[in-house]
């Protein structure tokens, strides 16, 4: 009932997409592949006054509009210690990097830029490394681009420049020279893709550490929908208008998405 009263469109290029129930109160939407470049995406609800079940009714909600830009993809290869930066499919820069050393392996998978911070004081205690231990650190870090909430960044690491392009020596972040980190910082926005391959680490979890939705296959994603990934097969919602008791307010899982 909820899904059949939600609508997502993209123009000028339409794209197949589906909802996924993360839990019984949270619904995410994504297309089969990345959003088209320079698209206008609109999400709307017709749930106002619709009886969902028992005494649960839909409430009015404002439509949401977002716009995608160019398709930016940063492919981070932990096996070759190189990052390949693409703009709309064209390679524009290859950057020597270092990723997580054994025991601190960088997560594989498709991640999304969450936020950018020109300066962060990084302390090992924030990821569970005790102060004073052999792996502890307390470092001023510049040009930090966050890709997981647990503390994985792409950032300047001048202390490891001798290993960049050759070896993985970090505690899980992707390190590069200060100049390259500044360039990367200036060329990505929230929602852009940072994909890690070739690491010995686990794959990023889909929902609890940032925007990892792309790490589910399309078949897996469709299984999370009550409509089986096809709104066309849903029965028309029967609407009963009355003053609703507890409202159900739909929201969009992503406010800024990569193309």
Instruction: To the nearest 10°, report the CA torsion of 164, 169, 170, 176.
Output: 0
Told to judge if 252 belongs to the known catalytic residues of this protein, a careful annotator would answer no
Q: Considering the candidates 28, 67, 171, 173, report the single residue annotated as catalytic.
A: 173
Would you call 249 exposed, middle or buried from its count of C-beta atoms within 10 A (0-12, 13-18, 19+)?
exposed
Catalytic residue among 155, 182, 187, 252: 155
Give yes or no: 173 in active site: yes
* Pairing state between β 174-176 and 153-156: parallel
Q: 187 is written with which tokens? A: 């060329």
| Degrees, nearest 5: CA angle 68-70-71 | 95
- Annotated active-site positions, please? 155, 173
């Amino acid at each position: 009932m909820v899904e059949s009263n939600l609508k997502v469109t993209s123009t000028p290029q339409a794209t197949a997409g589906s909802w996924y129930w993360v839990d019984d109160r949270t619904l995410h939407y994504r297309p089969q592949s990345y959003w088209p470049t320079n698209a206008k995406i609109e999400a709307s609800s017709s749930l106002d006054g619709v009886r969902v079940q028992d005494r649960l009714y839909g409430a009015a909600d404002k439509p949401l509009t977002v716009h995608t830009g160019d398709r930016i993809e940063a492919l981070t290869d932990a096996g070759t210690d190189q990052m390949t930066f693409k703009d709309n499919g064209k390679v524009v820069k290859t950057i020597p990097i270092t990723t997580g050393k054994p025991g601190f392996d960088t997560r594989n998978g498709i991640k999304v830029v969450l936020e950018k911070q020109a300066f962060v004081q990084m302390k090992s205690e924030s990821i569970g490394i005790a102060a004073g231990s052999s792996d502890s650190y307390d470092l001023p870090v510049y040009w930090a681009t966050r890709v997981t909430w647990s503390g994985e960044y792409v950032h300047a690491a001048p202390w490891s420049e001798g290993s960049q392009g050759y070896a993985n020596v970090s505690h899980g972040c992707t390190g590069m020279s200060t100049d390259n980190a500044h360039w990367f910082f200036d060329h990505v926005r929230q929602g852009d893709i940072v994909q890690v391959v070739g690491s010995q680490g686990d794959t990023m979890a889909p929902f609890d550490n940032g925007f990892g939705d792309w790490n589910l296959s399309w078949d897996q994603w469709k299984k999370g929908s009550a409509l089986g990934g096809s709104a066309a097969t849903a029965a028309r919602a029967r609407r009963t208008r009355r003053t609703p008791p507890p409202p159900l307010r739909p929201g969009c899982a992503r406010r800024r998405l990569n193309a």
